[in-house]
Amino acid sequence: MSDVTKDYSKLPATSPLGAPLDWAWLRGAKSEWGVRPKPSPRGLTMLDIAVGSYGDVPEHPAHRSMAPRGADIEAGSPDMGYILNDKADVWADNTRELYEEAVARQWSATRDIPWGELQELDDDVEHAMCQLCTLLTEVEMIAADLPAKWMWRMNHEFIEAKMFLCTQMMDEARHAEVFRKRALANGGGLLLSRNGATSLLRTIIEAKSYTQATALMHLLGEGFVLDLFRMGELIAPSEVEKRIFRMCMQDEARHVAYGTMHIRYSVEHDPDVAEEIHEALDHGEMVLTEFGTAPDVSTALAVLLAGGVEDVESKGFPMSLEMSKKQFSSYLARCERAGISRLERTKLPLDLLGIDIETIRSAGRAA
Amino acid sequence: MRIDSIDLFSALAAEMNAHPDQFRPLGEADMDVVIVMTSKRADSFAVRLAFEGIRCEHVVEAEADAPCEYRLVGPLTAWQAMFDDIAEHGRATGLQTINSLALLGNDIALGGTDPMGLDKFSRFNQTLQEFFDGASAVLALEVAP
């Protein structure tokens, strides 16, 4: 702690080489000098240090530099060219919690998967698993590319949101890694990549604004992939795949939690943004539905759900339809929670899917 | 030991809390869960589990509709089948993992009104699974001479 009685006025004004010296920092910063955040039982978390003005995230930051939020910032700081300068552009109220969770729950696709327990599978099941892994290897990195596209445009005052997105990029790198490894590890390999997947990914990466992009990626895309991972765990032929899908599921659910609460924060603080999000989801739902019903994706999933090609019609496709109903229900419930109800707007065939609208609505009331 | 008992869940919590080296690599998990076991012949049994960090800190008998982030509800027979599978194999296998059971929803259903609470089932699933898998040690201890 600085000693307010100590006199620094006699310190030299120039260095031994004659360069001017600045001792202003010796005065300490603001009135909170001496405030000590207390570590929680699990260590000193980002929530613990969000104290006083250090925890205040401005709605409209005054600076556009990389100066740390809470520091004394010299006048005339350079403009880094940020375009996401409103808190509502990027923030979610669970950002700090999710960052800590992400850091604590990192895992290794090399060490934490029991690769030695891989089992020889029937030819059709191995092909189906490899096809699913091919698809997942392809689509997972979009959730790294997209934050990378926008992060350098985010005002540095929103550092916690940027830190969380860094963890998301690491998560997605690991997902691409683990599915690529699984495709190759059991004697199969990477199979067919069709154009539909890339069309979906382009829709996401080309979104006009970050809020549209995050609605498409976190709420719609990752929400569906989260349920796909849950399905993957269900149909996993061995503990290897079960573990892969469970670990990926955990990561994906964090990303969805950020996206849901970010959209909510955005809509609450800037109601005009709702229409922009709806427009993105109108288009995104169509593209995702086309992608989900693509002949290769749907057949691979049906084979895995049926445990092989023999029961694909009697068991695989009916189960697949049931799973789709759950995916759409989860997505629509998250939209309610995010404050962006899709029930009156969506073109999804809710009746055909047998979706219980009242249950979905209750998700919005839970907020 | 009956599975519809506080004794079992207290023992599962003790098993988790005794193995920080197993749960630390999975990372902290904070969730408030209610497990409900229904029976045609008796009242439902419900227990509330509070996970904090790498521990299960609280195990208390609860009402089936007690507030929580998510609940897992199913007949006693379905829960018994899950614990039998864990006891036999040392961990849940095939369709007896908690995610598989809850996703199928035929026997054990995942419920809750808030999607943010429901998604914690996914966010901390490996932790929850390993908590249940602890039954292999708890139940083995019970039958040991």
What is the tens place of the pLDDT at every residue in A238-268?
999 999 999 999 999 999 999 999 999 999 9
Question: For the CA atoms of chain A, what is the radius of gyration?
Answer: 25
Question: How many beta carbons lie within 10 A of that of residue A275, not counting itself?
Answer: 10
Residues in chain B with CB shorter than 8 Å from the CB of A333 are: 115, 118
Q: What is the pLDDT of residue A8?
A: 86
- On the question of pLDDT at A292 being above 60, the answer is yes
Give Cβ neighbours of residue A70 (< 8 Å, ≥ 6 apart): A29, A30, A53, A54
What stretch of H or E contains B32?
Answer: strand B31-38
Strand, coil or helix: A142: helix
| Cross-chain Cβ contact A250/B123 below 8 Å | yes
Q: How far apart are CA A339 and CA A277, in angstroms?
A: 11
Could you tell me if A104 lies within 8 Å of chain B, comparing CB atoms?
yes
Handedness of CA A32, A33, A35, A38 (dihedral sign): positive
| Cross-chain Cβ contact B116/A101 below 8 Å | no
Mean pLDDT (whole number) for A128-151: 94
pLDDT digits 0-9 by tens, A24-72? 888 766 667 888 999 998 899 999 999 988 999 999 999 999 999 988 8
Handedness of CA A234, A237, A239, A242 (dihedral sign): negative
pLDDT digits 0-9 by tens, B23-49? 999 999 999 999 999 998 888 999 999
Task: Choose, out of A233, A235, A244, A356, the residue to mutate when testing the contact with B (most B CBs < 10 Å).
Answer: A233
pLDDT digits 0-9 by tens, A177-224? 999 999 999 999 999 888 877 888 888 899 999 999 999 999 999 999
Confidence of residue A341 (pLDDT cuts 50, 70, 90): very high
What stretch of H or E contains B84?
Answer: helix B76-89
Chain A nearest-CA distance from B126, in A, is 6
Could you tell me if A42 lies within 8 Å of chain B, comparing CB atoms?
yes
Mean pLDDT (whole number) for A339-352: 93
Could you tell me if B97 lies within 8 Å of chain A, comparing CB atoms?
yes
B-chain residue closest to A250, CA distance: B123
Could you tell me if A44 lies within 8 Å of chain B, comparing CB atoms?
no
Confidence of residue A83 (pLDDT cuts 50, 70, 90): very high
| Tokens describing residue A60 | 């409209």
Could you tell me if B55 lies within 8 Å of chain A, comparing CB atoms?
no
- On the question of pLDDT at A80 being above 70, the answer is yes
Q: Tell how strand B45-52 and strand B70-75 pair up.
A: unpaired
Could you tell me if A250 lies within 8 Å of chain B, comparing CB atoms?
yes
Percent of chain A with pLDDT over 90: 77
Q: How far apart are CA A258 and CA B71, in angstroms?
A: 22
User: CATH number of the domain at A87-365, out of 1.10.630.10, 3.40.50.1220, 1.10.1060.10, 1.10.620.20?
Assistant: 1.10.620.20
Q: What is the pLDDT of residue A153?
A: 97
Q: How far apart are CA A218 and CA A224, in angstroms?
A: 9
| Cross-chain Cβ contact A337/B115 below 8 Å | yes
Fold of B6-143: Nonspecific Lipid-transfer Protein; Chain A (3.30.1050)
pLDDT digits 0-9 by tens, A192-203? 888 877 888 888
Q: A288-306 burial string, b = 16+ CB within 10 Å, else e?
A: bbebbebebbbbbbbbbbb
| Cross-chain Cβ contact B28/A326 below 8 Å | no
A-chain residue closest to B29, CA distance: A101
Q: How far apart are CA B3 and CA B15, in angstroms?
A: 15
Q: Which amino acid is at A11?
A: L
Q: What is the pLDDT of residue A146?
A: 95
Q: What is the pLDDT of residue A52?
A: 87
**Length reported for chain B:** 145
Q: What is the pLDDT of residue A195?
A: 81
Confidence of residue A126 (pLDDT cuts 50, 70, 90): very high
Q: Is the Cβ–Cβ distance between B8 and B52 less than 8 Å?
A: no
Q: How far apart are CA A265 and CA B92, in angstroms?
A: 39
Q: What is the pLDDT of residue A3?
A: 54
Q: Tell how strand B31-38 and strand B70-75 pair up.
A: parallel
- Average pLDDT of chain A is 92
Residues in chain A with CB shorter than 8 Å from the CB of B107 are: none
Q: Is the Cβ–Cβ distance between A310 and A122 less than 8 Å?
A: no
Handedness of CA A303, A305, A310, A313 (dihedral sign): negative
Q: What is the pLDDT of residue A291?
A: 76
| Tokens describing residue A347 | 């073109």
Beta-carbon contacts below 8 Å between A and B: 90
Chain B, 21 to 40: residues with Cβ < 8 Å from chain A are 25-28
State if pTM tops 0.80: yes
Q: How far apart are CA A148 and CA A141, in angstroms?
A: 11
Q: Helices (DSSP H) in A270-316: which residue ranges?
A: 273-292, 295-306
- On the question of pLDDT at A111 being above 90, the answer is yes
Mean pLDDT (whole number) for A125-147: 94
Q: Which stretch of A94-103, A130-139, A288-297, A356-365 has the lowest confidence by average pLDDT?
A: A288-297
